[in-house]
Structure 1
Amino acid sequence: MKTVQIDVAIIGAGSAGLPAYRAAKAAGATVLLIEGGPHGTTCARVGCMPSKLLIAAAEAAHSATHTIPFGVHIDGSVRVDGREVMRRVKSERDRFVGFVLDGVEAIPEHEKITGYAHFIDDGLLQVDDHTRVRARSIVVATGSSPVIPLQYRALGDRAIINDNVFEWNDLPRKVAVVGAGVIGLELGQALAYLGVDVTVLGARGRVGPLSDPAIKAYAEKAFNASYRLETRAEVETVERIGNSVHIRYRTGTGDVVEDSFDYVLVAAGRKSNVDRLGLKNTSLKLDADGNPVFDPRTLQAGNHPVFIAGDANGILPIQHEASDEGRAAGTNAAHFPNVLPMIRRAPLSIVFSHPRMAMVGARHTDLPPQSFVTGEVSFEDQGRSRVMLRNQGLMHVYVDKNTRMFLGAEWIGPDAEHIAHLLAWALQMNLTVDAMLEMPFYHPVVEEGLRAALRDSVAALKALEK
């Protein structure tokens, strides 16, 4: 068995591992990148990019069937060709993956190794049965995997995860989606717009990442216009019958529903891929789930030269956060023991549903009661939104009562991904609501709705002064 001595070993060549490799190398360290699974990053292969390709097709179909109010009539029916849809999804997906693979291919051969790594002791890794790696510092960037509850595992190939969707050659007739988080809502609605009969079954009243009760209620009502969304469903039985799945569930109002589906898309959350790393062979402190305890500021596990980055740590499972954490972990690993806290960007989360959902900064549920005021705007009567017939949405912005600082926002509405970036920049620049209102707003644009919400928060602040 070969033994390699290195400054920094990085386990995982994904959205966190690749930036960690580049950062450690830029810091002057000798680096070895270890990957046992498929290259190409979760985002490019089975996450951000293929899901947006499917959503783009879905939005094209939805737009084509909603032209009559503009006086634009399509004579004949709009036909969705599932095979053509999936052909483009896979072709473009492969193109994006190819860009990542080109980058991996450019890494010198002596700086990368193929195989699954596990710890022999604190600083010693074994990669499959062919190589041992003695590293001064280690970055764990192993990503995460979908959680499949036990009751769905007996369904065989009728129970799928998002990875499987992007390997379809055609669209199915009927799908149940288990989980009303981001993945469940995005894929569920996209399939519904493409003509698939979709039921989304949530369990705890969740609607994507939203925590504001009013915004959540609005979103639930809006999505129920596209497909059946049960946010408090209790699945009682799941049974495979031939090539179908029979599900019996109880709704939040107590009604019992029985239905059959071609597939069950399980989108019930993800878990860190650290279970195969042999962490019990180290002196790292582990939590009750067997995950390493680490400092979220430095990403360091205790006082050890081990750093946990990206989806492996479960802090913010978003692509740009994984990249930032990878760079920070790689830099700290190279400079150990001189470790510095990373500078995090303003929290930013977007759901590519229709209408879009977004969250920036502090969540409503995390803000201390009575410490903030809420500014509100409905997009139903907002000028540009009505012009485009995309006038669905409700927005809440949160402003500190004492400092007048913008704290965060949650909303559903048109162009949310663009407004979210404006708000994230404002938050990162530590702007007050007054400074934000001094910024230019063009007319007529959807962003005027944001201005209305900010003005409403100022009115709420003035009311407190009386």
Structure 2
Amino acid sequence: MKEIQCDVAVIGAGTAGMTAYRTAKRAGQRTVLIESGPYGTMCARVGCMPSKLLIAAADAAHDARRTAPFGVHVDGPVRVDGAQVMERVRRERDRFVQFVVDDVEGFDAQDKLRGRARFVSDHVLEVDDHTRVTARRIIVAAGSEPVRPRELEALGSLLISNEDVFYWTDLPRRVLVIGAGVIGLELGQALARLDVDVAIVARSQSLAGLSDPQVREAARAIWTQELNLRADVTVLGGEAVDGKARVRLQVQGREVVEEYDCVLAAAGRRPQLQGLGLENTGAQWDEKGRPVYDEATLQLKGTPIYLAGDVNQRAPILHEAADDGRLAALQAASSGGAAPGPRRAPMAVMFTDPQVAVIGTPFKALPEGAVVGAVSFVNQGRARVMLRNQGLLHVYADRAGRFLGAEMVGPDAEHIGHLLAWSLQMGLSLDQMLAMPFYHPVLQEGLRTALRQAQSALKTE
């Protein structure tokens, strides 16, 4: 077995792993990057980018169907060619993947190892049966994998995840989506707008990661007008019958049987820690069987090992994964001596229509005495002009008038969310935010309305 000695070993060549590798190398560390699967990152291959390609096609179909209220009439029905849709999704996805692969191919060949890494001890890894790596510090950036419901294992290949969708060569006729989070709602709505018969079920009232009950119910009211979206549904089981997925569900206390071309499992992802051999290290585990790590440094308690990116389940978002990789590498290079530094303002965006954004402190974590400012987009000027007048924004502030966060469903939430995240990171108060320019007529005038309402709530206390 080949022997390698290095300063830092990185397991996983996704966004966190690639960033960790580059950062450690710049810090003068002898670094090894280990990958068992294809290069290209989850985001480029089966996540952010192909999902947005599918959503873009769905938006084009949706927009083409809604011209009549503007007095613009398109002759004949909109026709969706599923094969052409998926051909573009795959073609453009492959371009994004190749950009990443080209980056990895530019790494030093002697630094790259192919194979599955397994811990022998805190400092020693075995890669398949060909290489033993001894490292001063080890960064685990192995990513995550879809959770597949045990109740539906009998469906076999008819039980799919988002990672399967982007290899389709055509669109199916009928799909059941399990989960009303980011993946389930983004893909479910996109497929529905591309003429796929879609049902979305969730086991609870949870929706889109929203904890503010008023914003959540505003989102539900909007989406149930368009989508077959059902909450409090229990998946009882399923079987493959004549090439179809026959699924048993408990809906409103009664059992129903429904048939689909496939079932998309979108009820969450779990860290890819299976088979890594962390039990051979000094890692400690919490009551839920998760490794215990310091969120400030990402270091596994009592070990020279760091968890970076989706594998730590802290914030499964691309820029957060990159930040994790950088932080872990700097910690590893300094043997834990580097100051962790401040984190970016928390933000999450969901690319449904309307979009969802959660910024900073969510409703469920607000301190006592926090005030809420609200705006409905139903009568917001620019939103009505574009016939996109639906949604609700809540902004939160503390008793001193300091902006804390926001939850939103509405038009262009991705852009309003960025303004709010930047304001939060700069530590702005409501007064300072309202002193900024708001052009007319823009959607951001709705944000000004919500900020003013929060400001008024402070003055009336």
TM-score (norm 2): 0.98
Q: Deviation string for 1:262-298 (max 9, x for gaps)?
A: 1100011111111211011111212345432110001
Matched residue, 1:353: 352
Give, in angstroms, the shift of residue 439 of structure 1.
Answer: 0.2
Q: CA RMSD in A?
A: 1.1
Residues 245 and 260, structure 1, Cα contact 8 Å, conserved in 2? yes
Residues 193 and 226, structure 1, Cα contact 8 Å, conserved in 2? no
Matched residue, 2:92: 92
Residues 234 and 250, structure 1, Cα contact 8 Å, conserved in 2? yes
Matched residue, 2:319: 320
Q: Deviation string for 1:226-283 (max 9, x for gaps)?
A: 21111211223322211111223233x4455432111100011111111211011111
The amino acid that maps onto 2:327 is A
Matched residue, 1:423: 420
Query: 5+ unaligned residues in a row in structure 1: which ranges?
Result: none
Query: 5+ unaligned residues in a row in structure 2: which ranges?
Result: none
2:393 to 366, 372, 395: 395
Matched residue, 2:143: 143
SS in structure 2 of the partner of residue 311 of structure 1: helix
Fraction of identical pairs, as percent: 54
Matched residue, 1:366: 365
Q: Out of 164-173 and 329-338, give the one that drifted further.
A: 329-338
Distance 2:16 2:290 in 1: 17
SS in structure 2 of the partner of residue 16 of structure 1: helix
Distance 1:25 1:32 in 2: 9
Within 5 Å, give how 1:265-276 maps onto structure 2: 265-276=264-275
Matched residue, 2:378: 380
2:407 to 400, 406, 410: 410
Matched residue, 1:303: 302
Distance 1:31 1:290 in 2: 30
Residues 377 and 449, structure 1, Cα contact 8 Å, conserved in 2? yes
Are 1:30 and 2:35 matched, yes or no? Answer: no
Give, in angstroms, the shift of residue 340 of structure 1.
Answer: 2.4
Matched residue, 2:439: 442
Give, in angstroms, the shift of residue 146 of structure 1.
Answer: 0.5
Distance 2:3 2:167 in 1: 38
Distance 2:73 2:93 in 1: 33
Distance 2:48 2:39 in 1: 15
Matched residue, 1:461: 458
Count of paired positions: 461
Distance 1:337 1:200 in 2: 45
Distance 2:149 2:341 in 1: 35
Q: Deviation string for 1:5-45 (max 9, x for gaps)?
A: 00000000001000000111111111000001111000000
Matched residue, 2:128: 128
Residues 152 and 237, structure 2, Cα contact 8 Å, conserved in 1? no
Distance 2:303 2:341 in 1: 17
Residues 147 and 269, structure 1, Cα contact 8 Å, conserved in 2? yes
The amino acid that maps onto 2:245 is V
Distance 1:385 1:416 in 2: 12
Give, in angstroms, the shift of residue 459 of structure 1.
Answer: 1.3
Residues 8 and 136, structure 2, Cα contact 8 Å, conserved in 1? yes
Q: Deviation string for 1:336-370 (max 9, x for gaps)?
A: 141422421000000000000110000101113x4
TM-score (norm 1): 0.97
Distance 1:255 1:381 in 2: 40
Judged with a 3 Å threshold, the aligned counterparts in structure 2 of structure 1 residues 38 and 104 are, in CA distance, closer, same or farther, namely: same
Distance 1:323 1:342 in 2: 15
SS in structure 1 of the partner of residue 172 of structure 2: coil
